[in-house]
Amino acid sequence: MPADVIRCNTDAAWSVAKRAGIGWIFENSDRQVYSEGSKVIDHVSSPLMAEALAMRKRNAMQEAQHKSFSNVWFRTDSQELARAIDSMTYSVELFGVLMDIELLSSSFDFIVVSYVSRTLNGVADSLAKAALHSSASIPLL
């Protein structure tokens, strides 16, 4: 991997009310935090969709572009999402979001999407849960 790879952990928390809190954190290999963010989104169909939205534009990938990070390692604790992105096997439910992720991926010089265990994804998890329990929400775009 390039020496200047920025790690981005993403996570989502979903409720049966079809509301999701999403969170992301960017850090370098020395665990120095560059940026973190979270938001809540209404009308999210499933936990897997919430995980995909956490990574998609207007969220982690857009933030990486905004910060001019060109070498990024996106990490999710959703094995199903990491597998879908890696294999480019897109379910009907996730097709549009995963196509957005694929398109946005082309704007980076180096990009990897992989699974990370929940124990190593604590900050993104906390951000997502805090967002889910907040009162402000945004429409799904």
pLDDT recorded at residue 59: 82
- Prediction pTM value: 0.88
pLDDT recorded at residue 29: 84
Q: Which domains does the chain have, with CATH numbers?
A: 6-132 (3.30.420.10)
Q: Would you say residue 22 has pLDDT above 60?
A: yes
Q: Which of 70, 56, 31, 60 is nearest to 127 (CA)?
A: 60
Q: Which of 109, 99, 97 is nearest to 22 (CA)?
A: 97
